[in-house]
Structure 1
């Protein structure tokens, strides 16, 4: 398990970091060529696209990983169903989605944008079976190279289109092509037995897992996109563009770390489904390391929202600064909470996970409505940040009690020192802000980042946690 985990982390990190770099460069270029309103339009379509993707079977890949009874011939049958569902759903989205959005927002641009992006639904559906097979076989190197290659190619295509004045369609090209390229590579990497059969046997084997996992993903979708939907409806495309840019930056550190850990956790821990002490210890060890990363990152992003926004996106995105300040305070809670689904899946407790999703939906949606009622995206950001912290406490308690046979205080114990470090960082960086505001955003972030990193290293060294973290990583079996 130790070697598999290290190998998986290594290759997944290569792919995810390549993807993050490409996306960051793409966003930096497009944010200077496109307006907040244009990006807000594409974001609105993306929100609806994500919903339809969930309906086409996003839960199939983890179901394949978890199920021990599937045979090679079953994969071809399931693949046939993903094609059928993908075709029907993408056509439905092209017809109904575009018309609905154009009617709601009184803008015909949503119709061609929706048709253009409907290909994402079909290709994402068709990717589920090969994705599941690759993960189940722990072919992390192949998964990583595939994702990195698709990200780079689609990113280059998007930037090229933007420089050729494709406007809003440069974003559409980027988002559409990445899934299409992954599909082509998947079909070369995975040998799926071709069959005309549509018998229900293979689907029945994964139905229970898919049903509960899909219900959780739908609940997760609503509470993670409810703010975007309401901001778009009540405030318009431009405020949504600013809000989505701030949320996108908030998601960056979460993606950087969790996209490396989560894809590896479930395939490996699924083989130890009944070994609760092993899964609990693994979760606590990894969450402790993540806490020492996530809490300092929350502090840095919150205190440096302005130079980060202006450096990456330019001065026209000033409206995203305040939302990023408040949203960043929840980075640590979101990072630790988003690690939990992999544990639920590894324990094959997706039914309880769905209940957790219902609680999360209620908590976060109520907070968003409160934030909207105060009339600005800034208050929405405050409400969202608070709700994610509350959600982490509720979800962590449920996970420890129902899946890991432990108490929430075990998680709290892991957070004491990281929070002390976070308070120290906040105090030092806050009171030195005026002295470190030098020349331009880049130099300012460089100086503040150096102080931030030095304080972290010194704290971890003198507290003994640097040595402990190294030992945890070394001995993680």
Structure 2
């Protein structure tokens, strides 16, 4: 095994341990809250959360990848950057307070004044957490990051449940969104003292943040375009279909993205720090990445197939019977999982090669495609059409993204790896040739049957995967 593969596998393993622990806790948290709050509660917060996510995006400004990419950062520069993030966070929090009532009025949402002030603090703490988090990521301290996120999630969940029983309603959900970034900042900041960059203090050299924008500007542009193309659907569904429908849609989309979080988002933090060390050897990075992409493609197919055939059972187990209306949407969106898993992993590749400009252009293209798909779905007035349009958009974006990687970033004309990968990620579309035999009336679902249905397919797959892993390890020992 090459040195880059060893370092990549080590970084990915550490990232997976931390992220998987967090995702298990988040799924448990979501299952509990979905039984306490209504689809309308989640829909109201989902609509406002689009604005929160946008301001969080502006607050970090793509600076974390720029810090990781930077080889040397002095103490004065570090402290100046930290102070700059505080100023950015305060400014954006004030702007958030001003703009949220306008968005709420456009979406016909009422009683959101208290939510506005609670969520504004979310923006502030997300901003100042950027530098401590980047310092941990730069040193590949993913276990520590995982611990910080788990502690913050547990505290937020406990407070949310307590506030719910005290009668705070949807405000309890908003407070959870506030406590999570506050808790993460406290833990990131505490543990950042162990990193090479060190624990940041307030400094006067605020201009130190300016050079980082040379790397971050295209990253920021890409993130903004990607944000609107991925979140416009939530706003338009809330506007034209109502907050209850957006509650179902948001939960469906969130459930579809969990496999991405488990397999792709969990390893992404490890990609850039490790691959950046080999940026002068693009052929080595290219080969190492495709070995990873094949694995993601296979995992995506298995996950998509399970979610397609057992969408109702999965939703019933995780969220309860009041969410079963979302199962048809989940079946459609599940078909995009393999494509999205591979596509989402390319960000670290672009960043490692310093190709944020090309990534930005990809973002422009994908934004146009995604927005067109969303507008078409909203125009038809059918949620199933909207979801189908998004699946097609993701497939188009996949082909365009890898064309740019081959042609402009690596300048490699060989497409053998790409053909094999494309076959893998599109294989799950075969599910469409069959009619699901698992469609049942909502009142027919029960936990015993649902667990049996899922275990019937998951356990054999786990057995096959374990056997393949043991066989691989034996071959590795012999060699």
TM-score when normalising by structure 1 = 0.90
Pairwise mapping of residues 56-67 of structure 1 onto structure 2 (< 5 A)? 56-67=59-70
Bigger Cα displacement from structure 2, 425-434 vs 30-39: 425-434
Provide the C-alpha distance between the structure 1 equivalents of 2:458 and 2:201, rounded to a whole number of angstroms: 55
Pairwise mapping of residues 383-422 of structure 1 onto structure 2 (< 5 A)? 383-406=389-412, 407-416=414-423, 422=428
Three-state SS of the structure 2 residue aligned to 1:56 is helix
Q: Which residue of 1 aligns with 2:76?
A: 73
Report the CA distance shift for 1:241/1:438 in structure 2 as closer, same or farther (over 3 A): closer
Pairwise mapping of residues 199-278 of structure 1 onto structure 2 (< 5 A)? 199-200=206-207, 202-278=208-284
> What RMSD in Å do the two structures reach over aligned CA positions?
2.8
Pairwise mapping of residues 50-199 of structure 1 onto structure 2 (< 5 A)? 50-97=53-100, 99-190=101-192, 191-199=198-206
Deviation at 1:30, TM superposition (A): 1.6
Q: Which residue of 2 aligns with 1:18?
A: 21
Three-state SS of the structure 1 residue aligned to 2:110 is coil
Deviation at 1:226, TM superposition (A): 1.2
Say if 2:84 and 2:206, in contact at 8 Å, map to a contact too: no
**Where in structure 2 are there 5+ consecutive unaligned residues?**
193-197
Provide the C-alpha distance between the structure 2 equivalents of 1:339 and 1:244, rounded to a whole number of angstroms: 23
Deviation at 1:26, TM superposition (A): 1.8
Pairing partner for 2:378 from 372, 388, 391 = 372
Deviation at 1:244, TM superposition (A): 0.4
**Where in structure 1 are there 5+ consecutive unaligned residues?**
none
Three-state SS of the structure 1 residue aligned to 2:419 is helix
Q: Deviations over 1:67-119 (max 9, x none)?
A: 1242232111011110001001111101222x212321333322221211111
Say if 1:157 and 1:174, in contact at 8 Å, map to a contact too: yes
Pairing partner for 1:381 from 387, 392, 403 = 387
Question: Within the alignment, does 1:440 sit opposite 2:443 as a pair?
Answer: no
Report the CA distance shift for 1:75/1:448 in structure 2 as closer, same or farther (over 3 A): same
Report the CA distance shift for 1:474/1:429 in structure 2 as closer, same or farther (over 3 A): farther
Provide the C-alpha distance between the structure 1 equivalents of 2:152 and 2:329, rounded to a whole number of angstroms: 31
Provide the C-alpha distance between the structure 2 equivalents of 1:180 and 1:65, rounded to a whole number of angstroms: 23
Provide the C-alpha distance between the structure 1 equivalents of 2:471 and 2:292, rounded to a whole number of angstroms: 10
Say if 1:8 and 1:141, in contact at 8 Å, map to a contact too: no
Say if 2:79 and 2:205, in contact at 8 Å, map to a contact too: no
Question: Within the alignment, does 1:40 sit opposite 2:31 as a pair?
Answer: no
Deviation at 1:442, TM superposition (A): 4.6
Report the CA distance shift for 1:455/1:26 in structure 2 as closer, same or farther (over 3 A): closer
Q: Deviations over 1:204-247 (max 9, x none)?
A: 32111111100000011011101111111111111100100100
Deviation at 1:444, TM superposition (A): 3.1
- Count of aligned positions: 466
Bigger Cα displacement from structure 2, 175-184 vs 402-411: 402-411
Provide the C-alpha distance between the structure 1 equivalents of 2:111 and 2:103, rounded to a whole number of angstroms: 9
Deviation at 1:454, TM superposition (A): 2.3
